[in-house]
Amino acid sequence: MRSFARRRQNTSRLLPLLRSPLLGELMAWICLHPEMNYSLAELARRFNVSQSAIGKEADRLAEAGLVRSEWRGNLRLLRAEPSNPLARPLTELLALTYGPIAVLADLLPAVPGVVEAYLYGSWAAHYAGEPGPPPPDVHVLVVGDADGAELAGAADLAERQLGRAVHLYQVSSMEWRWPERDPFLMSVRSSPAYALVGAPR
């Protein structure tokens, strides 16, 4: 599987208005979880970057009034700023572009039996640099023995949050480890993908 690294991308491909993929992922995570506070350390771990990188982006977003930044002792916390007039349209833009990361990376780890999960297909190709408008749907490969009904429930919730179809394809850990007999799995392994669960992002 050709996983791709945001650090190699100088500009955002999903939303060219943004300076970088990290900024898109960070803003989507905060804006699509408006009820939550996140520390710089939490966000740095989630996106596999340094706290200073998150802090620099947080400074810019706070200065623009797009996020709230507050200190609790030595802990700096960030959360969405719903009173900003840009909040609603910006959140809609982020849901259409970086939303699959923010929503699915939150929902799928909570489903028992999910060992790994990857965004693949048109969304992943677009993230990796393929030109064009935002894909109309999202494809996710789930590895493990999770209950099908629970996965379907997570997909339904994600569809409501993202406003687009979410297609989950589940395989066992053994099938994923030895994909040679399945042309579909071989094609997924050779295509761009974004790790949501179980692998470094």
pLDDT level of residue 3 (50, 70, 90 thresholds):
low
The two structure tokens encoding residue 6: 């945001």
Give the pLDDT confidence score for residue 7 in this predicted structure.
41
Q: Does domain 2-97 have CATH number 3.40.920.10?
A: no
The domain limits of the chain are: 2-97, 100-197
Residue count of the chain, please give it: 201
| Domain at 100-197: CATH architecture | 2-Layer Sandwich (3.30)
Which pTM does this prediction carry? 0.85
The rounded distance, in Å, linking the Cα atoms of 181 and 26 is 38
201 pLDDT above the threshold of 60 = no
Tell me whether the CATH fold assigned to 2-97 matches the one assigned to 100-197. no
pLDDT level of residue 5 (50, 70, 90 thresholds):
very low
Helix (H/G/I), strand (E/B), else coil: 116: strand
pLDDT per position as a tens digit, 81-124: 999 999 999 999 999 999 999 999 999 999 999 999 999 999 99
Conformational region of residue 69, where left means phi above 0, alpha means psi within -120 to 50, and beta covers everything else: beta
The two structure tokens encoding residue 45: 């771990």
35 pLDDT above the threshold of 90 = yes
User: Average model confidence (pLDDT) for the chain?
Assistant: 90
